Structure formats: structure tokens, C-alpha cells
Amino acid sequence: MRWITKGVWKTILPVLGAIFCFASISFGQPEEVLIDNTDSYKGKQRSAVTFKHAQHMESLECLQCHHRYENGENVLEEGELEEDTENVKCTSCHNRESKTRLKKAFHHQCLGCHMNLRKQGRSTGPELCGECHPK
């Protein structure tokens, strides 16, 4: 280790730290998430959605989907996004009492992104009800 100069350590340590931080955030997340919020709705709803979280992480930044807006700005920090915490769950803000209810929030976020990608001629995900909500 003596052959490594102090200058090299000043470069290597931050890079290693960033790699370990990214790995702990990325690999700590499940491959798929079952979105089942049937208890948040009144009356009969469609089936739960299997969301391919890992697939989305390949092309999106966490804060493109996860958010907490204050004065029109997303103030949520990635460090707050740990599995099963309230900040990760859409229902923590989007509920029966909120301005933007859960169903509308999901459809706006998911379908909006998929439709925008299609309009750009890019590969996209499902846009029809039964493609997300199987019988």
C-alpha cells in the first residue's frame, strides 16, 4: 500500500465511496414490486399491478417517480428512499383525502411516461388497462 501516493488515495476513496453508495441503493431494491392498494379504494377495483422496479431503474432516476413536492419543487432526497418506509409508499400522500388521489397519481405517472416515450418513438411499457391489471 505504500506505493500509492496520497494524491491517488484522494481520488480513489471518493470514487469507491460513490460506488458502494450506489450499490447499496440499487441492489437493496426488489426486482419486482406488487402494487396492491385495494384497501385504498371504495368499491371494486382492478387487480394488483406487478411493477418491474429493476427494469425501470435501468433507465430512470429514482426522483423521476418518487417525489414530495413543496412549492412546485421535488424536495425528496434519494437517501430517504429505503424499502418499506413511508416515503416510498405512494399512499403516504396520495389517499382519499389528498388533492391527487392514488388512482389518478398512478395513471398520470405511469401512463403519462409510457405515452410520452411512445410519442418519442422510444420503447415503452403498457398503456392499456389489462396490460397492467391482469384478470
Tens of pLDDT, residue by residue over 9-36, are 455 545 544 444 444 344 457 789 888 8
Which tops the pLDDT comparison, 111 or 12? 111
Give the C-alpha separation, 104 to 40, whole Å: 12
Q: pLDDT tens-digit profile of 121-130?
A: 999 999 999 9
| 26: phi then psi, degrees, rounded to nearest 5 | -70, -50
Give the C-alpha separation, 30 to 121, whole Å: 29
What pLDDT, on a 0 to 100 scale, did the predictor assign at position 18?
Answer: 44
Give the C-alpha separation, 131 to 120, whole Å: 21
Are 80 and 87 in contact by the 8 Å Cβ rule? The answer is yes
Give the C-alpha separation, 15 to 83, whole Å: 25
pLDDT band at 88 (very low <50, low <70, confident <90, very high): confident
Q: Is 1 helix (H, G, I), strand (E, B) or coil?
A: coil
Bridge partner residues of 33 (DSSP):
51
